[in-house]
Structure 1
């Protein structure tokens, strides 16, 4: 499991541990991994820990070798490692933009390049990627992350086509909307305000349960979060209205009022242990109510606009 030291990866590790699975946990930062490993062992799981960086593909071989040597092979590889940057494209340093793409997209390809040959050799395996609602829509101030997640969705689709000759191999994508994890505060930031998950916000445990179900009964794509359906519909069916609304909504719901000086966040290097945790500081239940109202309002606007156009066209 790559990206296991915090957020969704942390929650997924706990979910697999509770299910009785044996785990190899990997991420860049050893202190965060050791904390997660201790929690998984307390749940009764056998756990190995490997420090690995997906931007250094050779380190992924160590993850695979640990699984093969310790447990005899890899049945499921869950990949949730990702970094993020906020800011307009022209304000984001090229080094930061490129590293986000390298981590989130090229790192995913490196994981697939490591896992799939081993799956073929043993005749089976499930590869689960952590995607995002932002892999199907667009929003301002997150160009590197969104480009990467769009690319990941395409990569996963291609990998499914290329493994059709191997019925025992499954490539899956679990795509949540906003999740209460530290990724937003840990992100690189050149937008002037700290990012936050726009409502409605799901807990990482909800996404972890979806990942576990996908590993047990593989599905091509699993979307997590009901609001995502409405957002995708608006993006697809009403692009002009969507483009008008998404900027103000992003500035109001996706950026906090807390100012921040330009920072590389955790993009170039891991943050101290305080930056690794299961949850972010947001309260999903309260934000969920606000998001439900916001989503309902947006759907109403879209529906009224659609009806008005229909009448005009008759």
Structure 2
């Protein structure tokens, strides 16, 4: 499908991957409908999109946990632009902490935003796409949807569920003969966004981006490419692709390795952190941003080193495991 002039709805568009994705489509001259909870940040993101030649933007403050609000989002997109060619479910939140110490209220909120938000988005999008006979639904999952992590239970569960939803929808559409409606899943590795700052945290340790860290624009490019050439699933980041492959070959080894890596590099051993709900229940203030401050030249060098080290470690570990009786 040609990307230019498409009508694209993006949830979670006020920051992170959602914001970078909205701007990527705006650069292609698309009409972009941006949805998130924060009106101020959303308006700023829409203004950024409109700076690009040929782009049109509509900001619709939306809580994706509200099914009726998501239906209204779809209605406003069609009312303004006449159709929906692409829908990107990008809204997501997280709560870090030992399993028994994360409040159930926070656990439910993560599942509600990440899973039910994707369900509400898919239902709203597919109603329109079925009627018009074409469209692409793209869900932002995660490599955590393949290899789970400790201390991030609800998020990992939700990303597994998002992948399962995509699989089921593809099967259903195929059985219906809806060849021009596509459902794709994107599985990013660690991305430089404000996500970690916004997460609820009950670990007592600061949550940091676990290297290697990739840019949100890298994910946005993958999303745009899926509109041109739809695929079932796309993993973003070489380290993520390696991890997914290794999990298929040696799942037990990969599980143990991920646990150690999270404890060593995802939760700071130097910086304590007070218990916080983050932005789970109340949106973070400000105008939002695509980046979280984890990038830069030093991070790029660390990313390359960490990728090489991770690949070498996985290979050596797999060989040891194979040699074990």
TM-score, normalized by the shorter chain, greater than 0.5:
yes
Question: Normalized against structure 2, the TM-score is what?
Answer: 0.91
Distance change >3 Å, CA 69–CA 138, structure 1 → 2? same
Instruction: Give 1:291 deviation, angstroms.
Output: 4.0
* Aligned residue in 2 for 1:122: 132
Distance in 2 separating the partners of 1:36 and 1:47: 9
Q: Give the total of aligned pairs.
A: 312
* Aligned residue in 2 for 1:163: 173
Query: Helix, strand or coil for the counterpart of 1:47?
Result: strand
* Aligned residue in 1 for 2:208: 196
Distance in 1 separating the partners of 2:195 and 2:81: 31
Distance in 2 separating the partners of 1:295 and 1:103: 31
| RMSD (Å), alpha carbons | 1.7
Q: Does 2:19 align with 1:16? A: no
Deviation readout 1:74-125 (Å, 9 max, x if unpaired):
0111110000111111110000001100110111011111111111111111
Instruction: Give 1:235 deviation, angstroms.
Output: 3.0
* Contact 2:239/2:310, CA 8 A, preserved across alignment: no
Instruction: Give 1:241 deviation, angstroms.
Output: 3.0
Structure 1 residue ranges (4+ consecutive) displaced by more than 4 angstroms after TM superposition: 308-313
Instruction: Give 1:277 deviation, angstroms.
Output: 1.1
* Aligned residue in 2 for 1:266: 279
* Aligned residue in 1 for 2:108: 98
**Where do 5+ consecutive residues of structure 2 fail to align?**
1-9
Deviation readout 1:185-228 (Å, 9 max, x if unpaired):
11011111221221111110111111111122211111110001
* Contact 1:203/1:284, CA 8 A, preserved across alignment: no
Moved more, 292-301 or 280-289: 292-301
Question: Normalized against structure 1, the TM-score is what?
Answer: 0.94
Distance change >3 Å, CA 307–CA 43, structure 1 → 2? closer
Structure 1 residues 44-55: aligned runs within 5 Å: 44=53, 45-55=55-65
Query: Helix, strand or coil for the counterpart of 2:147?
Result: coil
Distance change >3 Å, CA 242–CA 184, structure 1 → 2? same
Instruction: Give 1:245 deviation, angstroms.
Output: 3.0
